Amino acid sequence: MASHIVGYPRMGPKRELKFALESFWDKKSSAEDLKKVAADLRSSIWKQMSGAGIKYIPSNTFSYYDQVLDTTSMLGAVPPRYNWTGGEIGYDTYFSMARGNASVPAMEMTKWFDTNYHFIVPELGPDVKFSYASHKAVDEFKEAKALGVDTVPVLIGPVSYLLLSKPAKGVEKTFSLLSLLPKIIPIYKEVISELKAAGASWIQFDEPTLVLDLDSQQLQAFTAAYADLESTLSGLNVLIETYFADLTPEAYKTLIGLKGVTAYGLDLVRGTQTSDLVKKDFPKGKYLFAGVVDGRNIWANDLASSLSTLQALEAVVGKDKLVVSTSCSLLHTAVDLVNETKLDDEIKSWLAFAAQKVVEVNALAKALAGQKDEAFFSSNAAAQASRKSSPRVTNAAVQKAADALKGSDHRRATNVSARLDAQQKKLNLPILPTTTIGSFPQTVELRRVRREFKANKISEDDYVKAIEEEIKKVVNLQEELDIDVLVHGEPERNDMVEYFGEQLSGFAFTVNGWVQSYGSRCVKPPIIYGDVSRPKAMTVFWSSTAQSMTKRPMKGMLTGPVTILNWSFVRNDQPRYA
């Protein structure tokens, strides 16, 4: 039984790529230095997967900034403002598109579906002259091959690329981006031909937009694209990978009808209904890459449950046609649990980061093939049972309070006009009061103070005094500017989510659980492992301290619960709404 990984984190277990990129951007290191760090990371990732027994190992999922920007480079779709004159796209043009430069702004960035990763949005129009301008996919396939690792090169599919694009400035908003399909398909054909010549036997097209609510014209674009590519793809095994949600019946029908396609990758974690479509109608002789290991969260897989799911699918698609996979790229999870030295053993036993998920995928594949690692499965079952029964997960007081909630508890007892009248009598604000969002810039000195206090290098009294001095500066500045409603500047806060999570029960924090948000920007999401409660007041001391420094109203600053939820690794043992 075979195993597959959709994609893998690029930053490295200790954010090696982040530091290499920022050093290069600051002109403290050379392009060759950056290339070496990148090559070392790729080599390590490929060898890790190969050593774990993964059969279908992805290449071209590494990126210096973003995989969609890599595709824009491959297609030579550089906006005119970057003054690119043709040829292979180098660092200058690539990073100018990503980050802007002294004379022109960067391209727009937006969220990759409903994840916290952000991609660079292509800017397209009828006058774009596409050309094969980045050979990265082929180069990285050859690089892996030279290391003795046979990989599956991964490309953003042509239809998803266009559907994720936007009309360039000056182009009508009604311009049909899909009308550019005949112009980009020839570039894809060149890439495919080079990959075949280099010895590729499989190729993966990521077409995640298939999970969106697409109309018949958009679905027809997939049919047309792969019909056009069919002859070029001849001789290759072709995997179309989808993720993040269920496919509609219409999208599923389109997917399994695509010409020249050998295999279909489906997210069976978030796509809770997709397996029903497979069981109802799956084309004979095709491969199913079953995404049963969650690529978007950090919980250890319930191996027994996943094995049961896989066995049911095996009866439908055939023993030799089922491949165990991740639900999506592991880009969206932390890199390696081995680097977490401060998590206690119980919580750690419940988790699996990217490196551990690779092992889980292979363990499931071996179990399906009759080579079940009984000790590994037994340990996993014990961890699952521990998590379900741990008193740290279930808080009786929280459960009781939640059960007692009524619909009326979600609504204010007084109407808006009454509240506005009361507020005006209390605050006496002008018709258009001025204020700011909340946080002021944090200096190097301020971060040093927080760091030293956390490391017990300065006393609490010294820390409080330093923070009070910073708040006083912020208050004085706002009063000088005649701001009506003041803020305290949040000098005591490290991160708008982590600060609150550290003061709530049911949260755990990692040391190296970094996840790429965009470019070199990484975040370290908290882990919500149990019922959440507030043991004591979180903001009252600093808000009241700030209010004592002024007669003007001082806002209390709270990160909202939805933001905390969306910026954390959340529990998977209950619905998100709970």
Does the pLDDT of residue 408 top 90, yes or no? no
* β-strand partners of 240: 205, 264
Q: Which amino acid is at 559?
A: T
Nearest by Cα to 243 from 224, 264, 257: 264
**pLDDT per position as a tens digit, 108-145:** 999 999 999 999 999 999 999 999 999 999 999 999 99
Work out the mean pLDDT of the chain and round it to a whole number: 96
Can you read off the two tokens belonging to residue 397? 């007081």
Q: Which stretch of DSSP H or E encloses residue 293? A: strand 287-293
Can you read off the two tokens belonging to residue 407? 């619909």
Given phi > 0 = left and psi -120 to 50 = alpha, else beta, which region is 241? beta
| pLDDT at 438 (0 to 100) | 85
Which three-class secondary structure state does DSSP give residue 458?
coil
| pLDDT at 574 (0 to 100) | 85
pLDDT class for 209, splitting at 50, 70, 90? very high
Nearest by Cα to 175 from 125, 107, 216: 125
pLDDT class for 207, splitting at 50, 70, 90? very high
Q: Which stretch of DSSP H or E encloses residue 490? A: none
| pLDDT at 495 (0 to 100) | 84
CA distances from 169 to 81, 126, 195, 243 (A): 11, 12, 34, 30
Does the pLDDT of residue 576 top 90, yes or no? no
* β-strand partners of 267: 291
What is the share, in percent, of the chain residues with pLDDT greater than 90? 94
CA distance linking residue 234 with residue 152, whole number of Å: 16
**pLDDT per position as a tens digit, 38-88:** 999 999 999 999 999 999 999 999 999 999 999 999 999 999 999 999 999
CA distance linking residue 423 with residue 330, whole number of Å: 49
CA distance linking residue 542 with residue 397, whole number of Å: 28
The answer to whether 302 and 482 have CB atoms below 8 angstroms apart is: no
Nearest by Cα to 301 from 263, 367, 358: 358
Those residues whose C-beta lies under 8 Å from the C-beta of residue 141, and which sit 6 or more positions away, are 59, 60, 151, 153, 195, 198, 200
The answer to whether 56 and 47 have CB atoms below 8 angstroms apart is: no
Query: For the ranges 280-294, 497-511, 564-578, which has the lowest average pLDDT?
Result: 564-578
Please provide residue 245's backbone torsions phi and psi, each rounded to the nearest 5 degrees.
Answer: -170, 175
The conformation of residue 113, written as its DSSP 8-state character, comes to T
Strands (E), 294-376: 322-326
Does the pLDDT of residue 411 top 90, yes or no? no
* pLDDT (average), residues 496-518: 94
| Global pTM value | 0.93
pLDDT class for 16, splitting at 50, 70, 90? very high
- To the nearest 10°, the Cα dihedral for 517, 519, 522, 525? 10
Nearest by Cα to 485 from 428, 416, 415, 418: 428
* pLDDT (average), residues 502-523: 95
* pLDDT (average), residues 487-504: 92
* pLDDT (average), residues 413-417: 91
Nearest by Cα to 292 from 306, 302, 281: 306
CA distance linking residue 491 with residue 471, whole number of Å: 7
**pLDDT per position as a tens digit, 523-557:** 999 999 999 999 999 999 999 999 999 999 999 99
Residue 280 burial class via C-beta count within 10 angstroms: exposed 0-12, middle 13-18, buried 19 and up: exposed
| pLDDT at 413 (0 to 100) | 86
| pLDDT at 422 (0 to 100) | 93
The answer to whether 4 and 291 have CB atoms below 8 angstroms apart is: no
CA torsion sign, 342 to 344 to 347 to 352? positive
List alpha helices for 180-215, DSSP H. Answer: 181-198
**pLDDT per position as a tens digit, 377-406:** 999 999 999 999 999 999 999 999 989 999
* pLDDT (average), residues 158-174: 97
Nearest by Cα to 348 from 337, 333, 357, 358: 337
- Structural domain spans, the chain: 2-389, 432-503+538-570
CA distance linking residue 364 with residue 3, whole number of Å: 8
CATH architecture of 2-389: Alpha-Beta Barrel (3.20)
* pLDDT (average), residues 417-436: 93
Does the pLDDT of residue 443 top 80, yes or no? yes
Does the pLDDT of residue 313 top 90, yes or no? yes
* β-strand partners of 110: 119
* pLDDT (average), residues 366-371: 96
| pLDDT at 380 (0 to 100) | 98
* pLDDT (average), residues 280-305: 97
